[in-house]
Amino acid sequence: MVAYVLLHAAYASHRKQTIMPQFKEVSKQSSLHPKPAGLVLQYGTAGFRTNAKQLDHIMFRMGLLTTLRSKKTKATIGVMVTASHNPEEDNGLKLVDPMGEMVTPTWEGYATQLANAEQEDLLAALQDIIEKEAINMSQEANVFVGKDTRSSSASLSQAVLDGVSALGGHSKDYGLVTTPQLHYMVCCQNTQCKYGEATVEGYYKKLCQAFIQLTKNASNCTDDQKHLTVDGANGIGALKLREMESQLKKELHISLFNDGSKGKLNHQCGADFVKVQQKPPTGIKMNPGERCCSFDGDADRIVYYYADSEGQFHLLDGDKIATLISIFLKELLTQAGLDLEMAVVQTAYANGSSTNYLEDTLKVIVRCSKTGVKHLHRAAQEFDIGVYFESNGHGTVLFSKAAEEKIQQLAENSSINDERKRAALLLQNTVNVINQTVGDAISDMLLIEAILAIKGMTIQQWDAIYSDLPNRQLKVKVSDRRMIDTTDAERRAVSPAGLQEAVNTLVKNYREARSFVRPSGTEDLVRVYAEAETQENADALAHDVSLAVYRLAGGVGGEPKPLH
C-alpha cells in the first residue's frame, strides 16, 4: 500500500512537472486575453456566437481546447472563426473534429466549461480536462484555423493562434476560407489526402473537375441554360466563388451579386434573409424564369428561387433540394443496378408535401431527426447513402465506405453494358462534387446545376415536382423554456401536461394539418410550427397553438394576437 501511495505521489509530481512549464506560458498569454467577469456563454448548435467585442478570451481559450483535442485524438482539429448568417457586428467560432465533422457533445461541454471559467480558475479548468481525458501532454498537436470576412475576424483568429501556441501546439492559418472549406481541409489532412488535397486550390480542382465530368452528360445546353444568378450575401462565399470561377471552363455562367464590394454582410441578402422574408435579396435583378440562388454568410447554406411570368416569387428550399438530389441518385442506382440503401433525413420543419412525395412517390426511406445539423449528419451515417437537408438550405449527402467502393468497382468494370457504365461514372463524379464533411453552398450549387443540366430540367419543372403545403412559424415568449420537453424528434411535447393533447385537438379542426412546438435552444421562447391546406388555415392553426402554449406553458407579456 505504502509503495502504491509513493508511486502515485511520484506520478502526480511528475505530471505537475510536465504540465507546469506549459501552464506558465498559458498564464502569461491568458492575461492578454482576459475574460470579462460574470460573462457566461454557451457552446450551442452553431458553436459560440455573440457580439464580437465579447469574444477575445473565448477565442484564446478555444485555441487551448483544440490543442488538447488534437493531443487526445492524435489528429488535426479545426477552428473556424465566423458567425455565419448573423449581422456583421457579431462573430463566433465552430470547432471541427478529425473527419471534418462537428465536435463531439462531451467536448462541446468542455468548451462551455473553459469559456466560462473565471480568469483565476482557468488553469484548474484546463487541468481538469487533461485529467478527465487522460491526455498525454507530450503528444504533438496540430490545429487548422480559418476565418470569414468580418472586420473582427482577423484579431479574433489571432487570439485562437495565440491559444494554440501557448500550449505548444502547431497551427496552420488558412486565412479567409468558407466554413465548409475548413471542414474539408481538416478531413483531407486526417485521411492522408485520400479525401483530397488540403489546400483551397485542391478543393477547387476536385469539385470543378467532377462538375465538368458530370456536365459532359448534358446534351446541348444553351448559354441561357448555363446561366445562374448568385447572391453571395456580401460574405466569404462570394470571394471564393470569384476565385473558383475560371476553373468551371464556361460550363456555368455566373452573375454574382452582393459580392462584398459595397454591401454589408448578410444585410437584406443571403440565404437566411431570402428564406425568412420569402422574397429576393436587395440588389438582384430577376428576369422571369431565371435561376437564382443565395449563399449565407459563411457559405454553408444555399436556397434557390425564381420569379414566374407574373412576377410571383418562388422559393426552393432545403426540402426541394433534397428531393431533386434523391430523384437523381435513385435513377442512377437503378440504372447502375446497385442495391444500396438510401434514405433522406429531415427535421420536423420539413414541409409535409416533401415527406409525402419522398415516401409515397419516390419510395425512399425518410427519417426525422432533431433540429440541428449534427443530429441530421449522425442519422444520415446509418445508411449506404444519406441525403440530409434542413429547410434552411444546410445539407449534404453522405456515402458509406462500402457504397463508395461498390460505385468505384462498377465504374472500373469493363464487362458491364453502356447504361450501367454511364450510371456508375455519373455516381462516381457525384461523390466527388459533394463535400461530405458538412453542408457546403458551393458544392451543393455545383451538384444542383449538374443535375438540372443532365436532366434538361428548368427551375419551374423542379419546383413543380410537388407543391408545398402553406405553413407558418411563430414564437411565444415564456418565463422558462425548460418547461417544455419534447420527444419523437421534437414532434410531440411530453410536458407541460395537457399541451400535446391541446395541439392534437386543434389540428383536427383543419384539413391536411399538422403542428408541433419546441423550445428555443438559446432563449426563453417556444417555437410553433403549423401547416394546413390553405395559408389562412395554417395561420389560424399557428395562432391557436400559440395561445395553447401561452396558457399552458407560462407565457409572458400579452396573449398572442391573431395574424389577421
Beta strands in 251-317 (DSSP E): 253-257, 292-295, 302-307, 313-316
* Phi, psi for residue 93 in degrees, rounded to 5: -155, 145
Q: Look at residues 75, 259, 62, 82 and name the one whose alpha carbon lies nearest to residue 167.
A: 62
Is 485 annotated in some ligand binding site? no
Is 518 annotated in some ligand binding site? yes
Is 544 annotated in some ligand binding site? no
Grid coordinates representing 546? 400559440
Beta bridge pairs of residue 227:
253
Residues 6+ apart with CB under 8 A from 175: 146, 147
Distance between CA 363 and CA 204 in Å, rounded? 35
Beta bridge pairs of residue 77:
143
Question: Residues with catalytic annotation?
Answer: 84
- The helix or strand, by DSSP H or E, that contains position 96, with its residue range, turns out to be strand 90-96
Beta bridge pairs of residue 529:
473, 516
Distance between CA 399 and CA 383 in Å, rounded? 8
518 contacts 560 by C-beta, under 8 angstroms: no
Beta strands in 340-487 (DSSP E): 342-346, 365-368, 385-389, 395-399, 471-477, 485-487
Beta bridge pairs of residue 368:
346
Question: In whole angstroms, how far apart are CA 489 and each of 42, 347, 378?
Answer: 22, 7, 13
Is 430 annotated in some ligand binding site? no
Distance between CA 134 and CA 23 in Å, rounded? 17
Is 479 annotated in some ligand binding site? no
- The helix or strand, by DSSP H or E, that contains position 325, with its residue range, turns out to be helix 318-336
* Phi, psi for residue 485 in degrees, rounded to 5: -125, 140
Estimate to the nearest angstrom the gap between the alpha carbon of 439 and the chain centroid: 5
Is 562 annotated in some ligand binding site? no
497 contacts 553 by C-beta, under 8 angstroms: no
Residues 6+ apart with CB under 8 A from 130: 19, 68, 137
83 contacts 56 by C-beta, under 8 angstroms: no
SS3 37: coil
Is 520 annotated in some ligand binding site? yes
What is the β-pairing status of strands 471-477 and 525-531?
Answer: antiparallel
* Secondary structure in 3-state letters for 213-229: HHHCCCCCCCCCCCEEE
Question: What's the distance, Cα to Cα, between the start and end of the chain in Å?
Answer: 78
Is 522 annotated in some ligand binding site? yes
Is 339 annotated in some ligand binding site? no
Is 300 annotated in some ligand binding site? yes
Residues marked as binding for Mg(2+)? 84, 296, 298, 300
Residues marked as binding? 84, 296, 298, 300, 390-392, 518-522, 527
Residues marked as binding for substrate? 390-392, 518-522, 527
